[in-house]
Amino acid sequence: MDKKLKLGIIGLGTVGQGVVKVLSPFDDIEIVGAAVKNLSKKRDVEIKCLTDNPFDLANNVDIDVIVEVAGGLGVYDVLKTAIKNKKHIVTANKELLARHGSELFDLARENDVIIMYEAAVAGGIPIIYPIKSSLSANSFSSVAGILNGTTNYILTKMEEDNLSYHDCLLKAQELGYAETDPTGDVEGYDAMYKIAILSNIAFNKRIDIDKIYREGISNISSLDMKLADEFGYKIKLIALSKKMNDLSGNECLDIRVHPMLVSKNKSLADIKNATNAVMLDGFPVGEVMFVGAGAGEFPTASSVVGDILTIKSEFNSNGEILPMTVCHHSDYANQINIEDTINCYYLRIKAANTPGTIGKIGLACGKYNINLSCILQKGVNDDRSATIIVITEECYEKDINLMIKDVEQTSEVRVLNRIRVM
């Protein structure tokens, strides 16, 4: 008879309880205990042994695998202890992996254990294992995606219901899509952690998250959504990582998270509400996209339990570690500064409704080698100012910043929003 795989679970929130429920039919897997913050809190599942000290699980000799679904950086030392005690790790903790993954993977390799983390990037969407297995023959040029359901829900409602960002955020909080403090989602931190992990496995390089440019959606207005629609675009919070050459010709990675105008002709433009999507471009496969639920009790539990079963399959054979589950690279990527990236831009400008204003904007663009794809005045506001929309052709980020600084030297022109175009 096969030996039972014995688990210790850290965290019994929504995802943790989902994991327990999904595991219930598996007689060959036993949950030895769980660590929680509040021992007296009522839960939908029953665990025979609860503790408020996760080190009890990390040091328990009967436990083979620690399943960490608590989140946050506070479990770092607990997981280090568990790894030193020769326990495999299954985690959904994107922030921990993005910030401390290098140390944890090195420690795991030293102790002949593995870290599985399918649920850390896109909830129920299988993406990490496919990149490492089915798509392992590919050389990837880019990874891009909608990796945060909260922001995608807010932007969808702003577009469809013509509501303000603030109103849509409140609605997202009421429905449980957004936290009481939504900063991690709406300011792009969550998506930043996820694109760091995806970049790591797609490009076989370690990523410094402090070098990832990050911008949230709080400056997007319903007017921007309406104008983008008129020009054939939708606005999405995009996490992007792509190969390019820096100004010296050296290969580097351009990794960033920020709102983008996405053409309605692109598949990512059709991703609505809390749905997530990851798009990969590689050779020989070409362009492929993975779409599904990026969060939630059972979608995330699906990925967590899938990792557990992968470990179980090895646990019952020869005990050797699957090569694809081990982090083999140690070099850090050369990450380009956002100032040196090349993009097209949408600018929403408020300017005095006087003759020559559009000409001044055009001259400023020419001064910094910026070609215009479109420049259009959209009526006159109540205060007699004009709303002017500019869409540029490709130019350097540093040049568009100089152009904006130049046109804002007078009180007649203010750039109210600048959004990159995908």
Supply the CATH number for residue 89's domain. 3.40.50.720
- In this structure, is residue 234 part of a structural domain? yes
H helical segments located in 28-75: 55-58
Instruction: Dump pLDDT digits (tens) for 359-380.
Output: 889 999 999 999 999 998 887 8
Predicted local confidence at residue 318, as pLDDT: 62
CATH number at 179 reads 3.30.360.10
Predicted local confidence at residue 1, as pLDDT: 41
Instruction: Dump pLDDT digits (tens) for 17-58.
Output: 999 999 999 999 999 999 999 998 999 898 989 999 999 999
- In this structure, is residue 309 part of a structural domain? yes
Q: Which of 194, 205, 234, 312 is catalytic?
A: 194
Active site residue 194: yes
Are 11 and 70 contacting, i.e. CB atoms less than 8 angstroms apart? yes
The count of domains in the chain is 3
The answer to whether residues 311 and 173 belong to one domain is no
Are 216 and 187 contacting, i.e. CB atoms less than 8 angstroms apart? yes
CA end-to-end span of the chain: 55
- In this structure, is residue 334 part of a structural domain? no
H helical segments located in 73-164: 76-84, 94-110, 119-122, 128-132, 149-161
- In this structure, is residue 158 part of a structural domain? yes
Task: 266-269: list long-range contacts, CB under 8 Å, 24+ apart.
Answer: 266/422, 268/144, 268/145, 268/146, 268/236, 268/238, 268/422, 269/233, 269/234, 269/236
- In order along its 422 residues, the chain shows pLDDT tens digits of 468 899 999 999 999 999 999 999 999 999 999 999 999 899 989 898 999 999 999 999 999 999 999 999 999 999 999 999 999 999 999 999 999 999 999 999 999 999 999 999 988 899 999 998 899 999 999 999 999 999 999 999 999 999 999 999 999 999 888 889 999 999 999 999 999 999 999 999 999 999 999 999 999 999 999 999 999 999 999 999 999 987 788 899 999 999 999 999 999 999 999 999 999 999 999 999 999 998 888 999 999 999 999 998 876 666 566 666 666 677 899 999 999 999 999 999 999 888 888 888 999 999 999 999 999 888 788 788 899 999 999 999 999 999 999 999 877 899 999 999 99
Q: Which of 188, 180, 177, 255 is nearest to 216 (CA)?
A: 188
The answer to whether residues 32 and 166 belong to one domain is no
Q: Annotate 50-60 with b (16+ C-beta within 10 A) or e (fewer).
A: bbeebebbbbb
Predicted local confidence at residue 3, as pLDDT: 81
- In this structure, is residue 332 part of a structural domain? no
For residues 324 and 329, give the distance between their C-alpha atoms in angstroms, rounded to a whole number: 12
CATH number at 383 reads 3.30.70.260
Are 256 and 339 contacting, i.e. CB atoms less than 8 angstroms apart? no
361: alpha, beta or left? (left if phi > 0; alpha if psi -120 to 50)? alpha
Predicted local confidence at residue 317, as pLDDT: 61
Predicted local confidence at residue 150, as pLDDT: 94
The answer to whether residues 71 and 219 belong to one domain is no
- In this structure, is residue 192 part of a structural domain? yes
